[in-house]
Amino acid sequence: MIVMEVLVSILLLTGGLLSFLGSIGILRFPDVYGRLHAATKSATLGVIGILTGTFLYFLVMHDIFVGKVLLGIIFVFLTAPVGAFMISRAAYLTGVPLSKQTEQDDLKKARSEAEKAE
Amino acid sequence: MQFQILLNIVIAFIWMLLQNSFTIVHFVFGYIVGLGMLFFLRRFLRFDFYFRRVYAFIKLLLLFAYKLIEANWDLIKIILRPKMDITPGIIAVPTELKTDWEKTLLANLISLTPGTLTMDFSEDGDILYIHAINVPDKEKAIREIHESFEKAILEVTQ
């Protein structure tokens, strides 16, 4: 029991910490695209950590199999990258500027060539 | 055909999870709901199914999970650096994958790996535009995409 309590605690704390660090990342990155890196990766693993902890807690301590939590993990895993893809694409197409540190922009090149071809 | 049966059973299981009751009654009811869903979506279900793919799929899922943890570690190191000296950029990466389903998987996998985020596809879908947080590392990222991700995805789909 003690081992499981420790494991659940570690999972919950790691999940919370990752979500917190992800929020700091959202504040610190210079542009939308950098912020999306923080929002997708940390938030995904953070939420998965918390949900896994919850699932294990109810399974071991109370003998309840909470299927909804498992579904939550799967859907977060599936939707986070798709969401990031759509947001960054929409941001780029509506002309949200890249940060000044940006070194390379292959997409701009490709798009101007495509416009020329038309 | 087999794939559709499996999908149907999966839908029935999801139904049982949603109802939070694991009785045969709910399984049967979920199966009927799944039948209805498959009937409406039958146009999209042309590919067939082999068991080998399930194994490859589990391997791909583990790769996903491992890469996600690695990405988080990398990101935390960047976030907690006192001065954020990153050189982001958008790089074009050609892909050999053919079907939309494979490309979607690859895009998701790239989004969850260290320092990369899929942004856009080219018109014909053969080039992925990736936002990288550190452009000097791009050779490593591109090599990883070609050698480990594309291979793992092809194992599932071929």
What does the pLDDT read at residue B50?
43
pLDDT tens for B132-158 read 777 777 777 777 777 777 777 777 766
Is B10 part of the contact surface with chain A (CB cutoff 8 Å)?
A: no
Which one of A32, A52, A76, A85 makes the best mutation probe of the B interface by having the most chain B beta carbons within 10 Å?
A85
Distance CA B110, CA B128 (A): 10
Average pLDDT across chain B, whole number:
76
Q: Find the CB nearest A105 among B90, B108, B117.
A: B90
Is the ipTM higher than 0.90? The answer is no
- Contact list, A85 vs chain B (CB under 8 Å): 107-108, 111, 117-119
Name residues whose C-beta falls within 8 Å of residue B120's C-beta, 6 or more positions apart in sequence.
A88, A89, A92, A107, B128, B129
Other CB atoms within a 10 A radius of the CB of residue B4 amount to 17
Q: Find the CB nearest B120 among A42, A92, A101.
A: A92
Are the beta carbons of A34 and A28 closer than 8 angstroms? Answer: no
Structural domain for A34, as ranges: 2-117
Name residues whose C-beta falls within 8 Å of residue B91's C-beta, 6 or more positions apart in sequence.
A104, A106, B129, B130, B132, B135, B138, B142
Contact B84 A88 (CB under 8 A): no
Q: Find the CB nearest B79 among A24, A36, A65.
A: A24
Query: In percent, how much of chain B has pLDDT > 90?
Result: 0
Which one of A76, A107, A108 makes the best mutation probe of the B interface by having the most chain B beta carbons within 10 Å?
A107
Distance CA B88, CA B67 (A): 20
How large is the greatest C-alpha to C-alpha distance in chain B, in angstroms? 59
Residue B14 structure tokens: 């999801």
User: How many folded domains does chain A comprise?
Assistant: 1
Q: Find the CB nearest B88 among A21, A77, A102.
A: A102
Other CB atoms within a 10 A radius of the CB of residue A64 amount to 12
Distance CA A64, CA A66 (A): 6
Other CB atoms within a 10 A radius of the CB of residue A105 amount to 18
Q: What is the mean pLDDT of residues A5-12?
A: 89
What does the pLDDT read at residue B109?
81
Name residues whose C-beta falls within 8 Å of residue B122's C-beta, 6 or more positions apart in sequence.
A110, B92, B128, B129
State the helix-helix crossing angle for B100-111 and A67-93, rounded to 10 degrees: 90
* Boundaries of every domain in chain B: 2-44, 51-157
Is B68 part of the contact surface with chain A (CB cutoff 8 Å)?
A: yes
